[in-house]
Structure 1
Amino acid sequence: MSEPCLICGKLTEKLHLQVNICYGCAAFYRRSVNSPKKYKCRNGKMTCNLKGSLHGLCRLCRYNRCVQLELKINKFCLKTNIFDVMHYEPDKTNPWNMFDMFYQINDLFKKNCPSTTSSTPNFFSSFNETISAMITASLPKQEWIPFSVTEEATFKTAFFINNFAINSAKLLSTFQSFQKLPISEKLILHDRFWQMFMLLRDYYVTFEHFGYESEFKVLIDNFQFVDATSAPTSLEVDLENEGSKLFVVPFNEKLTKFYTEFKNIKATFHEFTYICLIALWSFHLISF
């Protein structure tokens, strides 16, 4: 039977750290106990509302609530890789939950076993077909609209980015050469690759839709785009939100830097795929 988490109020069916709290809050407390960071209260009053917040929880008030509940963490838990925690419950309510996203990717790579086939298919052909399928699945299903700085628009973009990262892991897991890598290399390689791949996808789909002679516009999810006027405001970073910093900052830095170069190339789909392929294994060369 589901009961509300005693910290954030989200429904949970299991006890975590011997208390009726959700997995997300338990994971937060484990990270906090092992972290040297000092949290600050958002409003400075130590009385932040932790129930039903759509903007992330105040970390200091959340931590203090964990301490108040006397959560039990034994020495083994302090040394254990957080990705190895059993009975994981995906968080489908918060797209900025980086722990959730990385857990799913790690779990995917752990279950991904090398292919037993003895054949060696044409890698570029396979890569081309798989990327084509993923790009098609990510195409807008409705009329494109300018991005607006609203809670709903921000959440839709965040969910798209979160899902794109996970789907990029699924894409890489279909290739034999990637399957043979140790999981540590898979994680680093994916981390280097997926954000660049998302940006390249945004450019390719944008130019296919608007044409190469249009003014600056870039698709940022599966139906919203930013232009020269809205981009600076749309890509402001919430310094209190770790997910926002990890998602938005790299995208913002690459957005204008590579836009002109990609526009000048006027890449066909095969050329776009080849650029992605070079980016993937170039990252592998510099990651270790």
Structure 2
Amino acid sequence: MALATLNDLIKITTKNKNAVGMFNVINYEYAVAMINAAEQVNYPIMLGVPEGFVKNYYDLDTMTSLLKYLATTAKVPVAIHLDHSKTFETTVKCMRAGFTSVMFDGSALTYEENVEQTAEIVKIAHAMGVSVEGELGYVGRNGVDQIDPESFTKVEQAVDFVKRTGVDALAIAVGNLHGNYSFEPKLDFDRIKAIKEATGVGLVLHGGSGIADDDFRKAAELGIDKVNIFTEILDFGKKFTLENLPDMTFLQYSKALADAMTEVVKYRMEVFTCGRTL
């Protein structure tokens, strides 16, 4: 199946009132598990590559070639997404490599700087047929930041941001944090609904690991189109490795990890899609 953009997937989630999952890819086994899960659920998926991975972890061209091959041979639409890029250079580099979707995270900038830099990325990306996700508000990290309603995405500012930048999707702060929660997160559902109705663009929920299943479903029904998951699959991979690798050959372990990870991703996708399929 052809590669999809984030915009392509938002059209599907908007129609179905559900969300697509974006899962960050660490290696081949993770990528295969994600594609297998998406095919079993019969719903699109986004394969994510954070900027830090591009800079420090693996060769971009090699990983992009792998992801493009898996995506084009998959039975469901697949988008290749750059996650949390904070630099112009990395964002453009990934678009040139073949990514179909990029997130430019200007949330640490002043509002005007965020608007200006995001708008420039959008101009380039749209000329290349690539979708763009921006971020407005501040989604912090558990253990470092506290939930602060003052840092939540404001409806009026979201309208202005979308109008001036032309983003296809907006990552919003509504009570969510990155990493493992040390408390029960409470999402501001009224804010999600209001931002969706006011902007009309795709909405993205970061910091998904640890949010209750029913809250995911409600958020999707109210307008969240994309949910990011990384910590949960990272923690699962570590736990699985510690428990199983000592008793397996590496080849056995590699296959077993992919099979086990498929079930984790499949479960998450079933929650985000609210049980609906293509």
**Which one has the bigger strand percentage?**
2
Is the shorter-chain TM-score for this pair beyond 0.5, marking a shared fold? no
TM-score normalised by the chain length of structure 1 = 0.25
Q: Which has the larger radius of gyration?
A: 1
TM-score, reference length from structure 2: 0.26
